[in-house]
Amino acid sequence: MEQIIFLIPLLPFIGFLINGMLGKKLPKTIVGIIATTMVFVPFVLSLILFNNLSHDKTVFFQHLFTWIKFGGTEINFSFQVDALSAMMMLIITGIGTLIHIYSIGYMHDDEGFYKFFAYLNLFIFSMLLLVMGSNFIVLFFGWEGVGLCSYLLIGFWYKNVEYGKAARKAFIMNRIGDLGLLLGVFLIWNQFGSLEYQKVFELAATTGGSTTLTIATLCLFIGAMGKSAQIPLYTWLPDAMAGPTPVSALIHAATMVTAGIYMIVRCNVLFDACPDTQHFIAIIGIATSLFAAIIGLRQNDIKKVLAYSTVSQLGLLFLSLGVGAYTSAMFHLMTHAFFKALLFLAAGSVLHGLHHEQDIRKMGGLKKLMPITYWTFLIGTLAICGFPLFSGFFSKDEILADVFKESPILWALALISATMTCFYMLRLFLLTFHGTYRGTEEQKHHIHESPALITIPLIILAILSVVGGVFNLPPFMGESISHGLKHMLIPILGEHTEKTLPYALQAILAGSTALALIIAYLYSKNKYIAKAEVPVIDQQQTGALKLIANKFYVDEIYDRVFVKPIEWCGEIFHKTVETKWIDGIVNGTGTLINKGSNIFRWLQNGNIEYYLLGMTVGMVLIFLFKLLF
């Protein structure tokens, strides 16, 4: 079984090479089929591997080659597939396949069609490396690789300068995180003498926590902040919406941004040993979740709302990790991948129908015009809002319940965040699909439902968004079918005896989220459905509302505090330190020698009398010197 592992990342890489080098000459259909096959086959292979995991065989290894070897140091290029990586692999290749199919329809008229698929395949390759690596180095390969693909795909429409800037911002912010991760890896390497997960975690389990380990885990978390868009490194994600919508769905919602979650779950042994780090993660998580949700309330770009929603949901995931609820985090990661990919793709379908109009104030009444998109988007909205029995209901409730066990205050804050989710999602949904269309008749005439290549992936994801909860049902749904995911992840997370809440309390907690959804619905219904026009408050730009609409001016603050001073330093170094000081000294030395040599040249004038005079004076001086001392 182990022998097939390398094929899983290799195939998308081959797809990247084929489409990258020959794609320009191939017909679009072929390009699309090659790229999709190179993701679908790995999906099947992952499924096979996943099915072969059992109690006796919890992990498969494959050693490919020695990457670096000198002295006592040896770093291997090797893979490991256990339940955690298999789960990620299935999400990546599964949703990846759907998004590839979708993209064939969505990107059909783009001149860079082949390039797009080459990049997508490269992304899948990198993401698979990230989750399949058996050590921190292979993880890091994938980690930076996905950042690079994200850069390439955000700036895919490179002629637009703003998009290019967004791409750069994403790469640089990710690099800040990457440095954190790298330093964390160094600390772990020095502490445990190895980078292989198995060795490190075995040792860590015996040695327990220490200050070094706390710093190391904090560094790792900085890496996660960058990749998974947490405060303070989140501002690249909303800008990343410049990329084509399938990219937003695949990279900036379902897979890449969850890399930080994966990494922390992978290193759960380390993080469990460092409660201080865990508290920090929980605080950052809830703060990000609330902050992004507030901003999301006031955005008018359909993709931006979803982007802030992603940041907010990722915050919840980190909160969950911070309280040690790894299973719940992975569960919500999976359901979130389903419904957020769905929402983005459905939004893409809207954009496709509306010729890339992204402002929801100019939409409305699309329900009749785009029925499949409407229904799938509705399902996605209900799932993210936690409508009972939809996937998000189970996964979000599990996080909330786990948080409640640790701290009721954090629970209350998380509930507020979840409530805001309902508000901005309903606002988005109702403004887009209900009411009447707010564009011109001419525009309305052109609106059409998207082709099957686009709608079929939507339908599949919609089904998953509804039933995704079955993977980890709560115990009160029946002991025998419950907690599938939890049992699956035991080899990675270990057996924990958790506090269990009484059913009554669980029901109250679940009820509270349902209640939030009802309140949000009642509020939004009056405000958005009943009226044809966009409510006045959504147009206002004063005071706190303006502050929120402008995203609290965080970008501007970063510019003033970091970017400008750095540029100023560069300027000063160049204009003053370099030219005037350092080179001044160098050139000054040159001039001095030049001047000095003039004196000597005056002495060496070739006139023999001068030399004789000099000799005589010298002799007299030596004589006097001897005489006097």
Partner 1 sequence: MGIILLLLPLLFSLFLFGIKGKTAKTIALLGSLITLGFNLFLLSIWKQDGAYDFYENYTWINDLGINFCIGVDGLTMVMLLLTNILTPIIILSSFNNTEKPYQHTFYALILLMQFGLNGVFMSLDGILFYMFWEITLIPIWFICAIWGGENRIKVTLKFFIYTFFGSLFMLLGLIYLYLHTPDHSFNYNSLYAAQLDGSGMLFVYSSFFLAFAIKMPIFPFHTWQPDTYTTSPTQGTMLLSGIMLKMGIYGVMRWMMPMAPEAWAQIGNWFVIVSIIGIIYASLIAIRQNNIKRLFAYSSIAHVGMIGAGLFTLQADAWQGATIQMLAHGINIVGLFYVADIIEKRLKTNDLTAMGGIAKVAPKLAVLFMIIMLGSVAVPLTNGFPGEFLLLKGIFSFHPIAGAIAGTSIILCAVYMLRVYQLSMFGETNENTKNFTDVSILEFTVLSILAVMVLIIGFYPNLIFDISATSVSNILMHSITQ
Please, which residues bridge with residue 65 across strands? 77
Q: Which is nearer to partner 1, 240 or 297 (CB)?
A: 240
What is the rounded distance in angstroms from the CA atom of residue 577 to the CA atom of residue 198?
Answer: 50
Residue 63: helix, strand or coil by DSSP?
Answer: strand
The rounded distance, in Å, linking the Cα atoms of 12 and 124 is 6
Q: Which is nearer to partner 1, 168 or 444 (CB)?
A: 168
Which of 76/513 has CB closer to partner 1?
76
Q: Residue for token digits 């009411």?
A: 435
Work out how close the CB of 252 gets to partner 1 at its nearest, in angstroms, rounded to a whole number.
Answer: 19
Residue (of 400, 396, 399, 419) closest to 411 by Cα position: 400
Is the Cβ–Cβ distance between 245 and 351 less than 8 Å?
yes
Give me the least distance between CB of 172 and partner 1, in Å please. Answer: 6
To the nearest whole angstrom, how small is the minimum distance from the Cβ of residue 165 to partner 1?
8
Beta-carbon neighbour count of residue 173 at 10 Å? 24
Question: Which one, 35 or 410, has the nearer CB to partner 1?
Answer: 35
Q: Which is nearer to partner 1, 186 or 201 (CB)?
A: 186
> Considering beta carbons, is residue 168 or 361 the nearer one to partner 1?
168
Residues 6+ apart with CB under 8 A from 416: 290
Q: How far is the CB of 120 from partner 1 (least distance, A)?
A: 17
Whole-number minimum distance, CB 181 to partner 1, in Å?
11
Chain contacts with partner 1 (rule: CB under 8 A) = 65-71, 73, 140-141, 144-145, 148, 151, 155, 158-161, 164-165, 168, 171-172, 175-176, 178-179, 182-183, 186-187, 189-190, 566-567, 569-571, 573-574, 577-578, 582-583, 586-587, 590
The residue assigned the tokens 């190179």 is 38
As measured in angstroms, the least distance from the Cβ of 140 to partner 1 is 6
Nearest partner of 464 among 558, 373, 590, 340, judged by Cα: 340
Q: Please report how close the Cβ of residue 621 comes to partner 1 at its closest, in angstroms.
A: 29
Instruction: Identify which of residues 186 and 280 has a Cβ nearer to partner 1 in the complex.
Output: 186
Tell me how far, at minimum, the Cβ of 71 lies from partner 1, in Å.
6
Taking the C-alpha atoms of residue 39 and residue 96, their distance in angstroms, rounded to an integer, is 7
Q: Which residues contact 611 (CB under 8 A, 6 or more apart)?
A: none
- State the nearest-atom distance from the C-beta of 503 to partner 1, in Å: 49
Residues linked to residue 621 through DSSP beta bridges, in sequence order = none
- Rounded Cα–Cα distance for residues 336 and 380 (Å): 10
3-state secondary structure 453-483: HHHHHHHHHHHHHHHHHHHHECHHHCCCCEC
User: Least distance in Å: CB of 296 to partner 1?
Assistant: 29
Amino acid identity for residue 323 in this structure: V
8 A C-beta contact, residue 42 and residue 80: no
Closer residue to partner 1 (CB): 155 or 364: 155
Query: Taking the complex as a whole, how short is the minimal distance between the CB of residue 275 and partner 1, in angstroms?
Result: 22
Nearer to partner 1, 178 or 398 (CB): 178
562/611 with CB nearer partner 1: 562
Structure tokens at 514: 């349902």
DSSP, residue by residue, 157-217? STTSHHHHHHHHHHHHHHHHHHHHHHHHHHHHHHHHS--BHHHHHHHHHHH---HHHHHHH
68 or 603, CB closer to partner 1? 68
Minimum separation from the CB atom of position 588 to partner 1 (A) = 12
| Residue listed under structure tokens 């980078």 | 195
Q: For the stretch 531-550, what's the b/e string if a residue is b when 16 or more beta carbons lie within 10 angstroms of its beta carbon?
A: eeebeeebeeeeeeeeeebe
Give least dist CB 130 to partner 1, A: 11
Residue nearer to partner 1 on the CB measure, 503 or 573: 573
Burial class (CB in 10 A: 0-12, 13-18, 19+), 572: exposed
CB-wise, 63 or 368, nearer to partner 1? 63
Contact call for residues 332 and 399 (beta carbons, < 8 A)? yes
Min dist CB 115 to partner 1, Å, is 9
DSSP string, 493-504: H---------HH
Q: How far apart are CA 368 and CA 449, in angstroms?
A: 10
Nearer to partner 1, 29 or 587 (CB): 587
User: 524 vs 390, 429, 430, 531, CA distance in Å?
Assistant: 21, 10, 8, 11
